[in-house]
Structure 1
Amino acid sequence: MTDLTYGLAPWMPSDPSRELAGKAYQLAQRSAALGGLPPATRIALQDMLRTVNTYYSNLIEGQSTHPVEVDRAVRAGEQTHTPGVMISLALQEAQQTVAARAEASHHENPTDIEFIRRIHQLIFEKVPETDRLVRNGPNDAPVVVEPGALRTTDVQVGRHVAIGHGDLEAALHAFSDAYRPDGPSLRGDQGLIAAAAAHHRLAFLHPFVDGNGRVARLFSGLHIDRVLEQPAIWSLSRGLARARQTYYSRLGDADAPRQGDHDGRGPRSERALYAFCDFFLNACVDQVDYMADVLSIDGYKRRVEYLVRQASEQALPGVPKLDRGAEGVLKAVFIEGELTRAEAGQRSGYKERMGRQVVSELLKEGLLVSSNQRGPVRPRFPATYLDYLFPKMAGPSN
Structure 2
Amino acid sequence: MNASNPALPDSIPPSILTSADLLVTKTAFLAGMVAPETAACLSNLLMNSDARFSRIIDGYHTEPEALKDAFNSANKQSTLEKVPELRRRIVAVLAHHFHLLQTQAFPDAKGAVARLIIHQHLAQLGLHPHLWSLTRGLARRHEEYQALAPTHRSQVREPTDRVQTSGKSPLSFMKLMLEVCLGEVDYMTAALNRQQLREAVIHVLKTNTRLTEAGIRAGTAPAFFALLIQGTLPRSEFEAFTGLQPQAASDQLNRLINVGIAVNSSSNLQTVQVGLPLWFAKDIFPDFSLAKSEFKPG
Q: What TM-score do you get using the length of structure 2 for normalisation? A: 0.81
Identity %: 23
- The answer to whether the aligner puts 1:12 opposite 2:12 as a matched pair is no
* C-alpha contact 1:195 1:223 (8 A) present in aligned 2: yes
Cα deviation, residue 229, structure 1: 6.0
**Alignment deviations for residues 188-224 of structure 1 (CA, whole Å, 9 cap, x no partner):** 1111111111112222233434022222212211111
> Partners of 1:205 and 1:271 in 2: how far apart?
13
Contact 2:150 2:166 in 1 (8 A): no
Q: Is 1:286 paired with 2:226?
A: no
> Does residue 40 in structure 1 map to residue 72 in structure 2?
no
Shift in Å, 1:268: 5.3
Q: Which runs of 5+ in 2 are unaligned?
A: 156-162
Output the amino acid matched with 2:184.
Answer: Q
Say if 2:137 and 2:184, in contact at 8 Å, map to a contact too.
Answer: yes
Q: In the alignment, what sits opposite 1:190?
A: 88
Give the 3 Å change call, closer, same or farther, for CA 207–340 of structure 1 in structure 2: farther
Whether 1:356 aligns to 2:254 is no
Amino acid at match of 1:278: K
Please tell me whether the aligned partners of residues 54 and 139 of structure 2 are also in contact (alpha carbons under 8 angstroms).
yes
Q: Which moved more, 1:355-364 or 1:197-206?
A: 197-206
For 1:241 and 1:320, locate their aligned partners in 2 and report how far apart those are by CA, in whole Å.
35
Within the alignment, does 1:248 sit opposite 2:244 as a pair?
Answer: no
Count of residue pairs the alignment pairs up: 280
Q: Is the 8 A contact 2:262 2:274 kept in 1?
A: yes
Displacement after TM superposition at 1:353 (Å)? 1.3
In structure 2, the CA distance between the partners of 1:222 and 1:347, relative to structure 1 (3 Å rule), is same
Among 229, 235, 248, the residue aligned to 1:335: 229
**Structure-2 residue corresponding to 1:228:** 126
Shift of 1:17: 3.4
Task: State the one-letter code of the partner of 1:26.
Answer: L
SS in 2 for 1:330: helix
Deviation at 1:267, TM superposition (A): 6.2
Deviations 1:247-267 (A, max 9, x none): 11111379878xxxxxxxx96
Distance in structure 2 (CA, Å) of the matches to 1:275 and 1:318: 50
Residue of structure 2 in register with 1:102 after alignment: none
Question: Residues 370 and 207 of structure 1: is their aligned pair in 2 closer, same or farther, counting only changes over 3 Å?
Answer: farther
What is the CA–CA distance in structure 1 between the aligned matches of 2:135 and 2:175, rounded to whole Å?
16
* Displacement after TM superposition at 1:297 (Å): 0.4
Tell me the distance in 2 between the aligned counterparts of 1:369 and 1:242: 32
Matches within 5 A, 1:115-130: 124-125=64-65
After the TM superposition, which residues 20-169 of structure 1 pair with which residues of structure 2 at under 5 Å, given as runs? 20-36=16-32, 37-62=34-59, 124-125=64-65, 148=69
Residues 3-56 of structure 1 show CA distances to partners (whole Å, capped at 9, x for unaligned) of xx9xxx851124453111111111111011111122222222222221233331
Contact 2:23-2:181 at 8 Å conserved across structures = yes
Pair 1:346 & 2:240 matched: yes
Distance (whole Å) between structure 2 residues aligned to residue 364 and residue 327 of structure 1: 16
Aligned partner of 1:394 among 279, 289, 298 = 289
The 1:344/1:366 distance shift into structure 2, 3 A limit, reads same
Structure 2 CA distance for aligned equivalents of residues 346 and 201 of structure 1? 56
In structure 2, relative to structure 1, the CA distance for the partners of 1:147 and 1:229 (3 Å cut) is: closer
Which residue of the other structure, out of 197, 201, 204, is the alignment partner of 1:307? 204
Q: Closer, same or farther in 2 for the Cα pair 1:336/1:146, shift >3 Å?
A: closer
| 192-201 vs 34-43, which moves further | 34-43
Paired with 1:300 and 1:146, the residues of 2 have a C-alpha distance of 36
1:340/1:56 CA distance change after superposition, 3 Å: same
Q: Could you give the per-residue CA deviations for residues 217-256 of structure 1, whole angstroms, max 9, x where no partner exists?
A: 1221111111226454111001101101011111137987
Q: Is the 8 A contact 1:181 1:227 kept in 2?
A: no
Letter aligned with residue 335 of structure 1: I
- Aligned-residue Cα RMSD (Å) equals 3.3
- Mapped to 1, the partners of 2:95 and 2:204 lie a distance apart of 41
TM-score (norm 1): 0.62
Give the conservation status (yes or no) of the 8 Å contact 1:387–1:395: no
In the alignment, residue 307 of structure 1 is paired with which amino acid? V
User: Relative to structure 1, is the Cα distance of residues 41 and 149 closer, same or farther in structure 2, using a 3 angstrom cutoff?
Assistant: closer
After superposing the two structures, state which structure 1 stretch, 43-52 or 21-30, moved more. 43-52
Q: Is the 8 A contact 1:250 1:275 kept in 2?
A: yes
1:337-374 C-alpha deviation (Å, 9 max, x unpaired):
21011212222221111111111111121111233382
Q: How big is the shift at 1:329?
A: 2.3
Read off the aligned partner of 2:260 and give its amino acid letter.
G
Give the partner amino acid of 1:39: P
Cα offsets for 1:60-98 (capped at 9, x unmatched): 2336xxxxxxxxxxxxxxxxxxxx8xx7xxxxxxxxxxx
Does residue 295 in structure 1 map to residue 291 in structure 2? no
